Amino acid sequence: MDISVIGGGYMGLVTSVGLAELGNTVTVIDLNESKVAMINSAQAPFFEPGLHELLQKHVGSSLFASTTFEDVADSEISFICVDTPADETGHVNLTKVKSSACSIGLALQGLETFHTVVIKSTVPPGTTESVIIPLILGKSKRNFSTLGFSANPEFLREGQAVADFMHPDRIVIGVSDGRAEEILTRMYCKIDAPILTTSIKSAEMAKHVSNAFLATKISFANEVGNICKNLEIDVYDVMRCVGSDHRISPNFLSAGVGFGGSCLPKDLKALIHLAEALGEEPFLLHAVKKVNEKQPERIYRLLERKLGKLKNKRIAVLGLAFKPNTDDIRGSPAIPVIQSLDAKGATVIAYDPLAVENMRGVFPRIKYAKHPLEALTGADACVLLTEWPEFECLDSEFDAMQTRIVIEGRKILLCKNKEGVCW
């Protein structure tokens, strides 16, 4: 199939290479000129395992990038994959989704061939039907006889996004009619996963609920971890016993400094906002959010307990990305940790294998190291915030510190003489 993907970011570009790998011809449409130029020269604009290789394989033959919407007219399907940020209250900003819908509508004007528009961006339930479809129908001056619509939320995880796209647990498609369902089912037929067909609104809701549930598991593990630490019980031992129950599963029960990223915190906030707009009181969701926001504070409290006042103390921060195998720092717990260390007058020297340049945009004035040893040398304490595999075997490097105080926000170190944030 000929497919247009609007938005060449973390989700859209992975979707694009995945669709090209499935045998389709894909045009990525992004307003960011430098991103488009990089894609067209088969360079990944961000790090994601496997992305570079698939760009090298498909760019120029079955994958192209453009800053204009012209190619939408020649494609059978267009996917909207632009960002949908939420503000502090959880209100989702739909400006970019709306603008994409208008541009798609204009590109489809005057054409007769059937076209399916798929919303892959995470949007609040009801958005596709009440906002996106009317915009596309209005701008294209066409009707449902030649246009199909679908909400097809994406569940991939950064750091393993390509593999997740090709081998998902399930594919959820909310559809407007049988024709859109048939086209999407055909498009996904090479992926070996159940296709769950539902209404557009249910598909939109399923994405928010999935992320809220995952967030709930993490906050639950963190709260249990905080209790366990007081009792000198290892929460990882406890969760190994708890997660072996198939009704619970071991996934997302790793206690630590809290969840981050561009999706879990945003989608949780959006669901809270939606519930409150409906007059509901989402007690549980609020608690999940609060536990997560409080968890990074435990890092500096532990440091204060060990070092006293943090003013002029040199603190090595290992790990800035919100998770390993990505350079993405959006929502990373490293941000509130560094913010509070900085506010308390500590000197922060940070290291991450991939995310330093992104973090420099947030904290231009702190110091950055080129390797863990440089960050650790002379440090009064170290906090480890991302479970990068390269940190696992650190041990003698900690001897270069002024004092060997090592706090883990993620359980990864194999060495002795360290303390976990909640274990």
Ligand X SMILES: NC(=O)c1ccc[n+]([C@@H]2O[C@H](COP(=O)([O-])OP(=O)(O)OC[C@H]3O[C@@H](n4cnc5c(N)ncnc54)[C@H](O)[C@@H]3O)[C@@H](O)[C@H]2O)c1
What are the residues binding ligand X (CB under 6 A)?
6-12, 29-32, 35, 81-84, 96, 99-100, 121-122, 154, 156, 158, 262-263
Q: Which residue in the shown chain puts its C-beta closest to ligand X?
A: 9
Least spacing, CB of residue 370 vs ligand X, in Å:
26
User: What is d(CA 30, CA 100) in angstroms, rounded to the nearest whole number?
Assistant: 10
- Catalytic annotation present for 263: yes
Nearest distance from C-beta of residue 158 to ligand X, angstroms: 4
Residue with smaller CB distance to ligand X, 124 or 336: 124
Cite the beta strand spans of 159-222 per DSSP E: 171-175, 195-198
By beta-carbon proximity to ligand X, the closer residue of 59 and 303 is 59
228, 263, 382, 422: the active-site residue:
263
By C-beta, is 38 or 180 nearer to ligand X? Answer: 38
CA atoms within 13 A on the CB side of 238: 20
Strand 77-80 relative to strand 63-66: parallel, antiparallel, unpaired? unpaired
One-letter-per-residue 3-state SS of 103-115: HHHHHHCCCCCCE
The residue assigned the tokens 């290479």 is: 17
Q: What Cα–Cα distance (Å) separates residue 174 from each residue in 144, 151, 199, 367? A: 16, 5, 4, 48
* Helix (H), strand (E) at residue 77: strand 77-80
CB of 52 vs ligand X, minimal distance in Å: 16
Please say whether the beta carbons of 121 and 80 come within 8 A.
yes
42 touches 62 (CB < 8 A): no
Q: How far is the CB of 79 from ligand X (least distance, A)?
A: 10
Question: For the chain, how long is the longest CA-to-CA vector?
Answer: 72
The dihedrals phi and psi of 200, each to the nearest 5 degrees, come to -60, -45
**Least distance from ligand X to the Cβ atom of residue 328, Å:** 7
Query: Which residue number, 9 or 225, has a Cβ lying nearer to ligand X?
Result: 9
- CB closer to ligand X out of 314 and 330: 330
- Residues involved in catalysis: 263
